[in-house]
Amino acid sequence: MITAAAPDDSSRQMLAKVPQITALFWVTKIFATTFGETAGDALSMSLNLGYLLSTFIFAGIFVLAVYLQIKSKVFHPFLYWFAIISSTTVGTTLADYVDRSLGIGYVGGSTILLSLVCLSLWVWHKVEGTITPHVVHQPRTELFYWLTITFSQTLGTALGDWSADTAGLGYTGGIVLFSGLIMLIFLLYKFTSVSRVLLFWAAFVLTRPLGAVVGDFLDKPISSGGLDLSRFAASAVLLAAISLCVYWSQRMDAKGGRPLS
């Protein structure tokens, strides 16, 4: 799967407070983004809290998760993925609020959010000289990292909804589209010399709309092309899958000699 070029200084790699980029990382990321869709919809729709209130709730959880992540001195796998999950749930409700409640629409929302992702990466590169995910261990770098992730998670929700609704692809068509784009990135990684960091962030963004359409496919009514599964049950299963992936990656890190708390 997609990895980004690691720095020459191995000690910086060991200090990084983010996972190693492996196939298991991407599997966990897709589970997490799908969970973000089902859990976000569970609060805003099933519990009828609305997009705005749900966004405030998830944003509070996300801010706490990122604060704990930045305060930590070492890499905590479950804490990291807790922050990722928080970012994808707040991204779901925020995108729905911007696109639907504010009336900006999927195309307008996607354009704004794509611009914010690019701006965040550009400023990050101007300040730090790199946007590689391998050396995220200083507070300022972590702030750029999580800001970019938040924009990308929100963008992914808007893109997923655009593909299913505006573009008329439906949920299965959206799954095929974004799976195909991710496969294209993998082929570029495997057979070309395109920047590994660029490919990483492209894959990171695209896993979010894939998770969005998979999540919608699971919980939307059959009449709308979904499976009409319980959002709460789907979220519970996905959370269990994420936990299993994180536990397994923790075991692999321990065997590989990476220091864990």
* Residue 99 CA from chain centroid, whole number: 19
Q: What is the mean pLDDT of residues 209-216?
A: 91
- Closest to 143 in 3D by CA, of 33, 60, 256, 67: 67
With tokens 């690691």, the residue in question is 6
Residue 8 has pLDDT above 60, yes or no: no
Residues 181-195: pLDDT tens digits? Answer: 999 999 999 999 999
- Between CA 16 and CA 214 the distance in angstroms is 31
- Between CA 159 and CA 165 the distance in angstroms is 10
Cβ atoms of residues 35 and 238 within 8 Å: yes
Residues 199-212: pLDDT tens digits? Answer: 999 999 999 999 98
261 Cβ partners below 8 Å, 6+ apart?
72, 74, 75, 76
- Between CA 45 and CA 217 the distance in angstroms is 15
Contacts 24+ apart (CB under 8 A), 163-171: 163/209, 163/213, 164/213, 164/216, 165/106, 166/105, 166/106, 166/107, 170/225, 171/213, 171/214, 171/216, 171/217, 171/220, 171/225, 171/226
- Between CA 200 and CA 204 the distance in angstroms is 6
Q: What is the reported pLDDT for 115?
A: 92
- Closest to 94 in 3D by CA, of 157, 25, 32, 21: 157
Q: What is the reported pLDDT for 103?
A: 79
- From start to end of 150-219, where are the E strands? none
Q: What is the reported pLDDT for 12?
A: 41
Mean pLDDT across the chain: 87
More confident residue, 2 or 160: 160
